[in-house]
């Protein structure tokens, strides 16, 4: 089995400040670093552990880890170190010094940046090694050191055995509208490939129907109002001599798709000159009787472009047109039949799933725009996360089946914007989805950054890693520690943990309560009925029965201490009236 087992951060300072901190990502193997008096790592203890959590989430999922802490403490920085493609990572190499240890069957891979960190415990490091490194190693039990065998990128078998997929949080206003440019931001690092896990339009479309038809999801996510729109990526507007029927609307849509292709070609200008297009105003004077003539001109232009030897991108016009003509005419905007038309394709989740639409979105995304609406920002977030995951499960795993491969999936705050009930169910949804992938033999390792105690209650405590700020001098330093809480801990217990909140109450309520306690403490007479009534009124506002009772008892104690018999009688008579009123 292949898995990430340990991360050591020597120093990170570009956003959060993290120094000499380790994270144990596996419970199968335990890593302990031996350091000298200067806190330099001299050797590494690795021993196999009796992992009671094995197969907790099913056979496909190795484990699920969580990184928790307040904003700015370094959660996303750790995720970026793990999952960023090299083009992103190289901007921070001077500020990120770290190493990662992977177990790959009987060997180890040590990957990182900062060669001097590992020189004392990795033997036989090649002289020409760079500061950014990835070594395949054997482990010597006697010396507790690694012996370098080769560079990882010179061993294709191991290099391709682990792959990272990184879902990064994005603002809510960016959800629900997808652009196709750079759908897959991938790279081959010095070792394992990193993939920026962006959902593509085809898999958003497919995931919508998966959620709609899956009882586990659809009982909590209302997809019934979901509406899709597909349009050609062209500024050309169609001006028709007469209103068009639905068949003609589809014809216009096909022409606009071909125009979007033409406009991206070097020969596109020639085709446009042969069509009735006012290039100044971007208006195509369309005559439905001339549809076949327009199609012939566009197809000739595309075929001519395909004929150029230097052009590697071949558009098979007949296949595209056949695909578009198979899409039912009821998918096209029924209201859009006026003289100036846009001819976009508008349809709802209540329509049947169309394999042709999926193929259109998958194969021709450079030429079409895809958007959807009718669900909340939280529901869009769920859709974004799972369609991003499905995009890569489907594309990478089904086309490149490898029973020995491990996918490490990084989810940066996937619960952001979700209702607590959705957060509570999120892990169970992941488990259900990934254990339903029949025929896919690869394993999955999840690392999730989160603020949600609901997620933590689904994860064993050894896999929960807490980050907390500590002031050292004039600098905030982030400390990493194991969590005392985890699987099946109650939410109130988790909420009281300072890694989530300093108090289970809102800060305004916290201050209100503290101020009220002080007011009662400072009472020096109970004869002033106006002051007493104000304090009683403030106590009535407190909704929590335990705190309300505490405040009333505290006030009663003050009355006994300071009041004469008559004043105490007045207080208790008022209190009896209150209780009878309740």
Contact partners, residue 141, CB within 8 Å, separation at least 6: none
Backbone angles phi, psi at 259, to 5 degrees: -65, -40
Among the listed residues 441, 551, 501, the one whose alpha carbon sits nearest the alpha carbon of residue 2: 441
Tell me the pLDDT tens digit for each residue of 452-474: 888 988 999 999 999 988 888 77
Distance CA 394, CA 380 (A): 20
Q: How confident is the model at residue 179 (pLDDT cuts 50, 70, 90)?
A: very low
Distance CA 370, CA 208 (A): 13
Q: How confident is the model at residue 18 (pLDDT cuts 50, 70, 90)?
A: very high
Task: Report the 10 Å Cβ neighbour count for 213.
Answer: 11
Q: Is there a contact between 250 and 466 (Cβ–Cβ < 8 Å)?
A: no
User: What is 142-177 written as a DSSP string?
Assistant: TTTEEEEEEEGGG-HHHHTTEEEEEE----GGGTTE
Tell me the pLDDT tens digit for each residue of 384-405: 888 888 776 654 445 545 567 8
Tell me, what's the pLDDT at 393?
63
Q: Is there a contact between 93 and 131 (Cβ–Cβ < 8 Å)?
A: yes
Q: Is the pLDDT of residue 338 over 60?
A: no
Distance CA 349, CA 334 (A): 16
Q: How confident is the model at residue 173 (pLDDT cuts 50, 70, 90)?
A: very low
The CATH number of the domain covering residues in 2-196+378-498 = 3.40.50
Distance CA 5, CA 102 (A): 5
**Which token pair is 552?**
């009333």
Distance CA 345, CA 230 (A): 5
39 Ramachandran zone, left/alpha/beta (phi>0; psi -120 to 50): left
Tell me the pLDDT tens digit for each residue of 474-527: 788 888 988 888 887 776 676 666 455 667 777 888 889 999 999 999 988 888
Tell me the pLDDT tens digit for each residue of 37-92: 888 999 999 999 999 999 999 988 999 999 998 888 899 999 999 998 877 776 77
Tell me, what's the pLDDT at 172?
38
Tell me the pLDDT tens digit for each residue of 211-237: 888 877 877 888 888 888 888 888 888
For residue 471, count CB atoms less than 10 angstroms from its CB and return exposed for 0-12, middle for 13-18, buried for 19 or more: exposed
- Answering whether pTM is above 0.85, one says no
What value does the CA radius of gyration of the chain take, rounded to a whole number of Å? 32
Q: What mean pLDDT, rounded, does the chain reach?
A: 83
Q: Is there a contact between 249 and 242 (Cβ–Cβ < 8 Å)?
A: no
Distance CA 132, CA 97 (A): 9
Task: Report the 10 Å Cβ neighbour count for 498.
Answer: 10
User: What is 101-117 written as a DSSP string?
Assistant: EEEETTEEEEEEE-HHH
Among the listed residues 32, 34, 25, 21, the one whose alpha carbon sits nearest the alpha carbon of residue 6: 25
Q: Is there a contact between 62 and 406 (Cβ–Cβ < 8 Å)?
A: yes
Distance CA 84, CA 79 (A): 8
Among the listed residues 226, 224, 251, the one whose alpha carbon sits nearest the alpha carbon of residue 240: 251
- Which residue intervals of 446-564 are DSSP H helices? 453-456, 491-496, 507-521, 529-541, 545-562
- 3-state secondary structure at position 450: strand
Tell me, what's the pLDDT at 559?
84
Tell me the pLDDT tens digit for each residue of 111-169: 999 999 999 999 999 988 889 999 999 999 999 999 999 998 776 688 888 999 999 87
């Amino acid at each position: 089995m292949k898995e990430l087992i340990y991360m050591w951060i020597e120093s990170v300072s570009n956003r959060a400040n993290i120094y000499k901190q380790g994270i144990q990502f596996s419970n199968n193997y335990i890593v302990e670093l031996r350091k000298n008096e200067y806190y330099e790592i001299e050797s590494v203890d690795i021993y196999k552990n009796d992992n009671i959590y094995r197969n907790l989430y099913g056979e496909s999922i190795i484990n699920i880890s969580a990184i928790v802490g307040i904003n700015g403490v370094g959660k996303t920085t750790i995720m970026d170190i793990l999952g960023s493609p090299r083009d992103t990572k190289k901007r921070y190499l001077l500020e990120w010094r770290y190493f990662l240890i992977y177990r790959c069957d009987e060997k180890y891979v040590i990957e990182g940046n900062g060669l001097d960190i590992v020189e004392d415990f990795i033997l036989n490091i090649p002289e020409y090694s760079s500061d950014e490194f990835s070594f395949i190693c054997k482990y010597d039990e006697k010396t507790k050191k690694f012996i370098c065998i080769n560079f990882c990128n010179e061993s294709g078998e191991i290099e391709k055995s682990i792959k990272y997929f990184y879902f990064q949080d994005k603002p809510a206003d960016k959800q629900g509208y997808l652009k196709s440019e750079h759908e897959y931001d991938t790279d081959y690092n010095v070792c394992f490939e990193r993939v920026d896990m962006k959902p593509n339009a085809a898999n958003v479309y497919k995931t919508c129907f998966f959620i709609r038809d899956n009882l586990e999801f659809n009982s909590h996510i209302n997809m019934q109002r979901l509406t899709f729109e597909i349009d050609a990526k062209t500024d050309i507007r169609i001006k028709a001599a007469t209103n068009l029927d639905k068949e003609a609307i589809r014809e216009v849509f096909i022409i606009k798709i071909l125009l979007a292709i033409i406009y991206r070609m070097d020969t596109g200008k020639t085709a446009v000159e042969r069509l009735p297009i006012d290039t100044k105003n971007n208006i195509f004077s369309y005559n439905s009787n001339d549809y076949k003539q327009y199609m012939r001109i566009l197809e000739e232009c595309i075929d001519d472009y395909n004929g150029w030897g230097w052009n590697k991108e071949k558009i098979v016009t007949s296949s595209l047109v056949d695909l578009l003509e198979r899409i039912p005419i009821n998918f096209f905007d029924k209201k859009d039949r006026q003289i100036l038309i846009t001819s976009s394709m508008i349809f709802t989740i209540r329509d049947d799933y169309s394999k042709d639409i999926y193929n259109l979105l998958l194969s021709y995304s450079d030429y079409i725009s895809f958007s959807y609406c009718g669900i909340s920002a939280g529901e869009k977030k769920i859709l974004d996360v799972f369609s991003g995951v499905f995009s890569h499960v489907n594309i990478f795993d089904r086309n490149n089946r490898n029973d020995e491969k491990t996918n490490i999936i990084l989810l940066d705050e996937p619960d952001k914007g979700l209702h607590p009930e959705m957060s509570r169910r999120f892990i169970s949804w992941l488990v259900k989805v990934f254990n339903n992938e029949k025929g896919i033999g690869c394993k999955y390792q999840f690392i999730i950054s989160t603020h949600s105690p609901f997620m933590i209650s689904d994860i064993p405590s050894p896999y929960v890693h807490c980050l907390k700020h500590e002031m050292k001098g004039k600098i905030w330093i982030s400390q990493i520690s194991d969590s005392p809480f985890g699987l099946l801990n109650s939410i109130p217990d988790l909420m009281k943990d300072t890694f989530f909140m300093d108090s289970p109450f809102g800060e305004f309520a916290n201050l209100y309560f503290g101020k009220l306690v002080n007011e009662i403490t400072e009472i020096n007479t109970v004869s002033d009925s106006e002051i007493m009534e104000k304090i009683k009124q403030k106590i009535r506002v407190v909704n929590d029965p335990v705190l309300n009772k505490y405040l009333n008892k505290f006030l009663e104690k003050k009355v006994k201490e300071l009041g004469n018999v008559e004043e105490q009688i007045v207080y208790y008579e008022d209190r009896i009236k209150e209780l009878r009123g309740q």
